[in-house]
Amino acid sequence: MTKVWFITGSSRGLGRSLAEAVLAHGDRVAATARNTEPLNNLLDKYPGQVLPLKLDVTVRNQVHKAVADAIAHFGRIDVLVNNAGVGITGAAEAFTDEQVRSQLDTNLYGPIEVTRAVVPHMRRQQSGRILQISSIGGRVAGAGLSMYQSAKFGLSGFSEALSKEVAPLGIRVTCVEPGGFRTDWAGASMTFAPSVEGYETTVDWMRGFFSGDFVPMGDPAKAAKAMIGLVDHPEPPVHLVLGSEAAGILKLADEARKAEFEKWMSVTLSTDHDDAVNFLDTAAGKALMNLKAIDKR
């Protein structure tokens, strides 16, 4: 059975690679972008399979119109891919108010609103897959990327909570967390805040890294293939890390977090009330564990 995909940010980068791979696979695509002109050649190559839709994910009425238009045209949405996003590098104190809002609007509030618009349709279908294109920066933070990674950490948390809500409805959610891929994320899609004295070895180093000879390891075509396989998997993960770079970063971060957690365990446990018992032995703890069991069905 062919699927209907709704992909944001599909005119370039990873979104474009995914849209092309999905169409070549024989599925249909509601391909959204702020500028749909680069999508016109897909209409000729895949007649009847693609619906270009103008969409700025930061504009609420455009979000709901695009979803409604896709449903009216194709009759359903089987796979939602929240891919639209932009990067920015700078010290936290250096960003303008507009830059902060833009990062949260595009990388967090936008995907949340698109998801909220699509989920009711999937709920009525009793089926659906949602892929949130986050980043390894949604699991591990680095100097110079505080605003971008704040949004991605938020998207990861939203997606994990959502996955627990909608699993009994036949909807599966995966937060896709790539490392560096050979798209224009660190190029045309990257902006910078002004440099601030004192950050030469941290933020400025990161800025130089991105604007210098940085060559990402990830292949967008292979990422697209992995995501097509993901939506057909009966038990998809809630988090999927893509790329050896991302895997290495996460492994080191997890080891450091575990060591810090264990080091401070005595302080952690010291804050319980004197009459407290093991939380997992309480009624609330048992109820929570029951919810976790339901998640895994």
Res. 205 pLDDT band, cuts 50 70 90 = confident
Catalytic residue among 148, 159, 163, 199: 148
R_g over Cα of the chain: 21
Distance between CA atoms of residues 89 and 94, nearest Å:
10
Tell me what the mean pLDDT of segment 53-62 comes to: 97
List 150, 152, 159, 163, catalytic entry: 152
Tokens of 78: 């089987």
CATH topology of domain 4-246: Rossmann fold (3.40.50)
The helix-helix angle for 110-125 and 146-166 (nearest 10°) equals 10
Mean pLDDT of 268-278: 86
190 to each of 17, 203, 257, how far by Cα in Å? 19, 14, 29
Segment among 37-46, 51-60, 114-123 with least mean pLDDT: 37-46
Q: Mutual orientation of helices 110-125 and 60-74 as an angle, nearest 10°?
A: 30
- 238: pLDDT confidence band, cut at 50, 70 and 90? very high
Q: Is 60 exceeded by the pLDDT of residue 112?
A: yes
109 is a catalytic site residue:
no
Task: Find out whether 6 and 118 touch, Cβ atoms under 8 Å.
Answer: yes
- Tally the residues of the chain: 297
What percent of the chain is modeled with pLDDT above 90? 68
Active site residue 134: yes
Mean pLDDT of the chain: 90
Is the CB of residue 226 less than 8 Å from the CB of residue 189?
no
Amino acid identity of residue 167, one-letter, is A
**pTM of the predicted model, to two decimals?**
0.89
pLDDT digit string, tens, across residues 160-175: 999 999 999 999 999 9
pLDDT(93) > 90: yes
Of the two residues 215 and 112, the one the predictor is more confident about is: 112
216: three-class secondary structure by DSSP: coil
What's the DSSP call for residue 141? -
3-class SS at 275? coil
- Judged against a pLDDT cut of 90, whether residue 122 lies above it is answered with yes
pLDDT at 280: 74
Do the Cβ atoms of 152 and 137 come closer than 8 Å? yes
Known catalytic membership, residue 296: no
Dihedral angle of Cα 134, 135, 141, 143, to the nearest 10 degrees: -110
Distances (CA, A) of 77 to 27, 46, 204, 235, 274: 11, 18, 43, 20, 53
For CA atoms 98, 100, 104, 107, give the dihedral sign.
positive
Query: What pLDDT does residue 250 have?
Result: 93
Residues β-bridged to residue 177: 241
Which entry of 10, 134, 150, 156 is annotated as an active-site residue? 134
Domain-by-domain residue ranges, the chain? 4-246
